[in-house]
A and B are shown apart, each in its own frame.
Chain A
Amino acid sequence: MSLESLWLALLGLLLAGYFVLGGYDYGVQMLHPFLGRSGADGSRGAREAAEPVGRNAALAAIAPFFLGNEVWLVAFTGVLFGAFPHLEGSLLSGLYPLIVAILAGLVLGNAAVQLRGRAHSARGRRRWDALIVLGGGLPAVCWGLVLGLLLHGVPRRPDGSFHIGFGEVLSPFVLACGVTTALLFAAHGAVFLALRSAPELASAARRSGTALLRAAGAAGALTLLLTLLGAGAPMRNGVTSALLAALFAAALAGAWWWLSRERHGRAFAATCCATVLPVLLVGAGHYPYVLASSSGAGLTVRQAVTDGATLKILTAFGVVLIPVILAYQTWSWWAFRGRTGRRHPSYF
């Protein structure tokens, strides 16, 4: 495996890690005001039990991991700049409006999650809650739009730069990708809550989760249909893409099957796979192009990668750092394993 493929794989790992971990954060953020009362009788009692003193049990479930999840995106951007500077410049400036929207959502949502607990009135908390929902939903939809654009190909100019406008974003395929991703993240968040929360919230999350998985499946089927009709993504590597799409469908179906049978661990593993697969599809579906052009061809991994000397230095650091990062992240998941309960200090 050449060094540039290795770094492309690492870039994919970081983005996939962000989709899995940030994905359930966004899902929980979107669902947190509603989940407590989704019981069959919409019982107020269940809602109040979940939220005694202005606490939100859904947010408490993601709390210890929250700061460690978002950094996967930062690391992705750092590695994108370090290892693929020629992709970074044109990708981020080309997707300018979407990236700005994602960042605005992230900034507001992250700050709101962390500062919500500092509000001293119910009204103040409700304001933060609105920002928390916005900060989950906006990035989720926009990442879906970005995925859709990357799968479909972007309007690259001869000098390599591109700009997306309303015309590109408002295509049925790209919009369907946005909706699919938002529903997928919401379902993923619901499954996370089913896995980690106290029983009453967990069963409410299970109900929402199965419904959201069905909806995500329907939206995903629409993107597939559009592609088959020729209005979607002209994938360069057809067989690989078809295989990944099939796996995606299987992951959603498996998640739904296990979740409705209360096998939360397996259902969560399946939604993790489902959030990783779109990243793999973008990377492998157009390989060796890392930025596919809508008129065919595009920017290859070899053109995007940094100079060989720089890449060797980065590799020397990478072989030490990546296992260390994976080790301490795993440690943090292990240290805060189990259902949210009495021994968890609350802060957010």
Chain B
Amino acid sequence: MSAADLARLQFAATTGIHWLFVILTMGLVPLVAIMHTRAACTSDPAKRAVRERMTRFWGQLYVINYAVGIVTGLVMEFQFGLSWSGLSKFAGNVFGAPLALETLIAFFAESTFLGMWIFGWGRLRSGVHVTLIWLVALTAYASGYWILVANGFMQHPVGYEVRDGAAYLTDFGALLTNPSALLALGHLTLAALTTGGVLVTGVSTFHLARRTEETDLFRGSLRLGLWVAMLASFFVIIVGDLQFPLIERTQPGKLAALEESHLPWHGLLRVSTDVMTITGNTVSTITFVAVFLLWKDLLVRWRPLAYLMTALIPFPFIASAGGWVLREVGRQPWLIYGELTVDDALSHVSRGSLAVSCSAFIAIFVALAAVNWTLLTRFARRGPYGIQFGATEPLTEEPRPATAAF
């Protein structure tokens, strides 16, 4: 493999794996925020306890996934400078601004507020505590917006001019309202909500089918998750289709590679696009039917049906990976469409260094992804019993030790 191939593999692996965490983080956080708000607004103590346990159960899954997602995001932030210094040389004046603003507006706030939310149980006032999770949700999507402004510039550069071989920002408004960014944000938001909704649905039907004692908790979760999944998976297809006229206008090369078999990357693009479309439509259809089966708990009375919903959990991830390949591989050979090729942007880093870093990052990320999914599965199966997250009992049963020991 050449240095360019290794650098691309490293970037693709980092982004691709990061994305699998992000889509679930973004999908779960609004649902957790809704659950927490409902719990805080309930005055009946028994109902409130159920809703609080519901928040903590899904909140724990969300936080486990966030823990791994944030570390891959950290590496993402460095990737541009590490292997693609040609990007900052050519487009740093334009491309750097949204990344800087993403960290200052969104990432900073999201992490600080999430830390406070995790440790705020029983310590912060309920209203403040609920506000924190909404701020986390808001900043998660704000983060997505700024990243897509940067990514939109790579797909369809706007608001700049090239002088002496470097891009200069001329129209900040155009950069912020780049249709390639806005449509993608709509598509990704709906895809994330589908992912979160399907996960909540699948885990809930699993527990209900196993005749859990927490019927109120999981019935409530199921209704919320399924409605969100049904609506989001319907509209994600519509917004996805809206992008094709834009691609036709701004990235003719991408559509050509998708349609014409003699062009490079055709096979991969075709397969990914079909996988995205088929899995997306499957999820949409099944969740649509399932909403009707909520009536009289039909969905969980017949177990195979309940387990079918559980089996649906991986589908949105598969579909989104397909969509990501279409968007990013379809951009090749350009890093910034029509302006800068991937090969021209490569840093002067030796092949040996890249080989080492690439294998190290891939090994670490794959291991983390495996740990993440093992933990998610274990904690999702275990159910809300004995949950550590948000437990307000004392930190340690410290026996007051004799200071004489020292």
Contacts and interface: CB of A to CB of B under 8 A. Distances in A.
Contact of A49 (B104, B364, B399): B399
Contacts of A52: 396-398
A199 B402 CA distance: 10
B43 interface: no
A321 interface: yes
B278 interface: no
Given A55-B396, A318-B104, A70 B111 contact: yes
A75 B104 contact: yes
A241 B356 CA distance: 37
A43 B403 CA distance: 11
B344 interface: no
Contacts of A103: 74-75, 78, 361
A104 B405 contact: no
Contact of B74 (A53, A66, A70): A70
B348 A161 contact: yes
B122 interface: yes
Contacts of B357: 96-97, 100
A199 B403 contact: yes
B375 interface: yes
B373 interface: no
B398 A97 contact: no
A63 B401 contact: no
Contacts of B168: 307, 309-310
Nearest to B402: A45
Q: How large is the interface on A (under 10, 10 to 19, 20 to 34, 35 or more residues)?
A: 35 or more
A342 B394 contact: yes
B123 interface: yes
B406 interface: yes
B240 interface: no
A307 B348 CA distance: 24
A65 B119 CA distance: 9
B366 to A, nearest CB: 12
Given A75-B107, A82-B97, A96 B349 contact: yes
Interface in A78-106: 78-83, 85-86, 88-93, 96-97, 99-100, 103-104, 106
Interface in B84-98: 85-89, 92-98
Interface of B is mostly: helix
B401 A92 contact: no
B169 A345 contact: no
B12 interface: no
A245 interface: no
A233 B172 CA distance: 42
A275 interface: no
B37 interface: no
B383 interface: no
A151 B160 CA distance: 36
B112 A68 contact: yes
A107 B75 contact: yes
B118 interface: yes
A336 B357 CA distance: 38
B349 A43 contact: no
B77 interface: yes
A267 interface: no
B67 interface: yes
B83 A93 contact: yes
A313 B82 contact: no
B39 to A, nearest CB: 16
Contacts of A68: 111-112, 115-116
Contacts of B15: none
A88 B112 contact: no
A306 B364 contact: no
A45 B405 contact: yes
A116 to B, nearest CB: 10
B64 interface: yes
Contacts of B348: 93, 161, 163
Contact of B109 (A49, A199, A328): A328
Contact of B104 (A50, A78, A342): A78
B107 A310 contact: no
B405 A93 contact: no
B288 interface: no
Max count, chain B CB within 10 A of own CB: residue among A74, A90, A332: A74
6 contacts: A70-B111, A80-B81, A107-B75, A163-B350, A332-B115, A347-B389
A-B pairs, top 7 by smallest CB distance, nearest first, are A85-B92, A82-B100, A78-B103, A92-B81, A89-B85, A114-B67, A67-B115
Given A78-B77, A88-B96, A89-B88, 9 more contacts: A46-B405, A70-B111, A93-B348, A104-B361, A107-B74, A114-B64, A317-B105, A328-B109, A332-B115
